[in-house]
Chains A and B, each alone.
Chain A
Amino acid sequence: MARDLEEYLRPEVQTTPFCPGCGHGILMGLLLRAVDELALDMDRVLFVSGIGCAAWIPSPHFNADTLHTLHGRAIPFATGAKLFNPELTTIVVSGDGDLTSIGGNHLIHAARRNIDLTVICANNMIYGMTGGQVASTSPLGALTSTTMEGNIYRPFDLCKLVKAAGAAYVARFSVTQPLSVISAIKKGINTEGFSFIEVLSPCPIQFGRRNRLDTPAAIVERLHEQCISLEEAGVLSPEELEDRIITGEFVHGGA
């Protein structure tokens, strides 16, 4: 990570726990870049996370108030803190399994209530920390430790889900689109109301290894090829869109 962001890290923390090539390290840097560009006062920022690899992005690394909670429950913990102290810029950072499977009900209700939280979902499409089991975001056919013959269930389109629930700002980008990720996080934080930013973050170890994307480079390259902007997607047929991931801002909110 760039030296100029070091002030946002706790001095006691020397290393990150992420596997080599994990997208979470990149996302960590992009999130801090957004915080830096917004010149947020870290004494007034609260980061809340659940359980899993992505939950370790803020905790213990970020030199701010950090609340590392229970699996799936980051959003209600954040809701309580934010409602009681609205002065806190409250940012939830967690994984797809945490926020959208076990925590799915909290996610849609928080979006419906439009409470002023910024939720960043690091989507690696699999359960990383627990050993590569299928997630509610794993693509059809994905090989995981619990779908050795290919995932038979459709994945959630998280942005559509949260948009339908009424979020004020909704965007999806990949860590291969760093400037867009930074800009989306900034907009999310600046939007009054519930903001949801899905960041595709490759997991070379648990997802890549099983799905013929053996190296970090291969999985990043694949993600890069798959991502397509909203505008580009508009002119393509459903067949052409199969296997593509649409990125962009789906709800603009007041930002």
Chain B
Amino acid sequence: MRYRVVQSIFPPGNYYFSGNEAVAEGAIAAGCRYYAGYPITPSSEIMERISVRFQKGGGVFIQMEDEIGSICSVIGASWAGAKAMTATSGPGFSLMMEAIGYAAFTETPIVVVDIQRAGPGTGQATRVGSGDVMQTKWGSHGDYQVIAHSPWSVQEMYDFIIKAFNMAEQYRVPSFVLADEAVGHLREKIVIKETVEVCDRVKRPGAAPFDTEEEGGIPPMPSFGEGERLLVTGSTHDAYGFRKTDDPNVHARLVSRLHKKVMDHRDEIVDVEGYYLDDDLEGLVVSYGFTARSALFAVQRLRSDGVRVGMMRLKTLWPFADRVVAEVSKRTKKIFVPEMNMGQVAGEVMKYACCEVITYNQTNGEVIHPHTILEEMRRIL
């Protein structure tokens, strides 16, 4: 593995951070040295903190004219050799979609943090939602794969942004931290360790940057200015980047490799956490993001009442935990999916589960209260 251990830039210790502050620090710890952004609630504190932290040197910060400019400059910086990121929220994320497809197709490592608010449209700019799950995966046209992490705590904002950078570099894909406003603005204790594991992109002068015979299907990635005379295009291209837009085989081969290079590694990428899964269950909650905190409370309360319920928390949303869901669904009668959207993850769960799937959807800009989940579960069990 290409991971190396580096000293934490931020002094190790215990801190009381907001999720947005933690994600900014985690990005710097992971090696982020280029940030471009555009103000949008509820993500702006990330940009503000990075702008201050980069002032002392070590990174390039720019506030662009819009979200499209932000993400495009992030892609340009990545090809110039930077670990690069942006952060935004719903409407800004929508504006970035075309470029996210470009990044996927050109295999550009980039990291995007989306602090989700309630939508659609301008929606409730200051309130919480989890409505961007599908947009993250399907927002750009065509077929592509991405990696998306779903933190439920300030600690995970820090930890997952590091993972997001590492996986972006390792798999040469756009990688996301998909947080809810409630996690972005949450303040709680986090522990910053002395060291950080980071992953750097592989370079192999002269090797084809867009195809590879190597196991895993992830080609090495050179940077501009290294004398490789790179040919990077968002059009269908061959192994060396030459446009081959009317060759059906080239297009099919490329799209299928981009799909496989993520899907063939999903056992390494997909991360879930199980609670009480060893039992033969009457009910199982599948949850993610901030909602999982409420769900865990409800599950623990029910268990103390003697009800055989379990919980699975999705720490990654994309690629979807299809195999895990299929497996655990055999051990329960019902799966309950509470979400701050109209059922975006529940739909995925239904695709793979072999038991009944019951949803609870709340899109009013408020987090789902633990007692709401408790009541709903008592009702359905």
Contacts and interface: CB of A to CB of B under 8 A. Distances in A.
A109 B234 CA distance: 24
A65 B224 contact: yes
Contact of A66 (B34, B66, B102, B230): B230
B82 interface: yes
Contacts of A209: none
B228 A109 contact: no
A77 interface: yes
B165 to A, nearest CB: 15
A48 interface: yes
B232 A66 contact: yes
A42 interface: yes
Given A70-B98, A76-B72, A77-B72, A88 B224 contact: yes
B65 A109 contact: yes
A79 interface: yes
Given A76-B76, A77-B73, A81-B80, A60 B231 contact: yes
Given A66-B230, A66-B232, A84-B33, A78 B225 contact: no
Interface stretch (B235-243, B301-309, B347-355): B235-243
Contact of B229 (A43, A81, A109): A43
A46 interface: yes
Nearest to A113: B62
A80 B36 contact: yes
Contact of A48 (B76, B84, B102, B223): B76
A12 B65 CA distance: 38
Contact of A83 (B60, B102, B231, B233): B60
Interface size class of B (residues with CB under 8 A): 35 or more
B66 A64 contact: no
A65 B72 contact: no
Interface in B210-229: 223-229
Given A80-B72, A81-B76, A109-B69, A64 B81 contact: no
Given A70-B98, A76-B64, A80-B34, A46 B75 contact: no
A111 to B, nearest CB: 11
Contacts of B82: 80, 84
Contacts of A44: 225
A69 B223 CA distance: 16
A65 B76 contact: no
A82 B224 CA distance: 10
Interface string A157-191: 00000000000000000000000000000000000
Contacts of A79: 62, 64, 69, 73, 76
Given A73-B68, A105-B65, A109-B69, A46 B77 contact: no
A68 B235 contact: yes
Contacts of A77: 72-73, 75-76
Contacts of A68: 231-235, 243
A10 B240 CA distance: 12
Interface string B245-277: 000000000000000000000000000000000
A220 B36 CA distance: 43
Interface in A37-90: 42-44, 46, 48, 59-60, 63-70, 73, 75-85, 87-88
Contacts of B75: 69, 77, 80
A70 B65 contact: no
Interface in B82-115: 82, 84, 98-99, 102
A105 B66 contact: yes
Contact of A65 (B60, B74, B225): B225
CB-CB nearest 9 A-B residue pairs: A80-B76, A80-B73, A80-B77, A76-B72, A77-B76, A68-B233, A76-B69, A81-B76, A81-B80
Interface of A: 10, 12, 42-44, 46, 48, 59-60, 63-70, 73, 75-85, 87-88, 105-106, 109
Interface of B: 33-34, 36, 60, 62, 64-66, 68-70, 72-82, 84, 98-99, 102, 223-235, 240-243
Given A60-B243, A76-B76, A85-B223, 19 more contacts: A12-B240, A46-B225, A65-B225, A65-B229, A66-B232, A67-B79, A68-B243, A69-B75, A70-B72, A76-B72, A76-B73, A80-B34, A80-B78, A80-B84, A81-B77, A83-B60, A83-B73, A84-B81, A106-B69
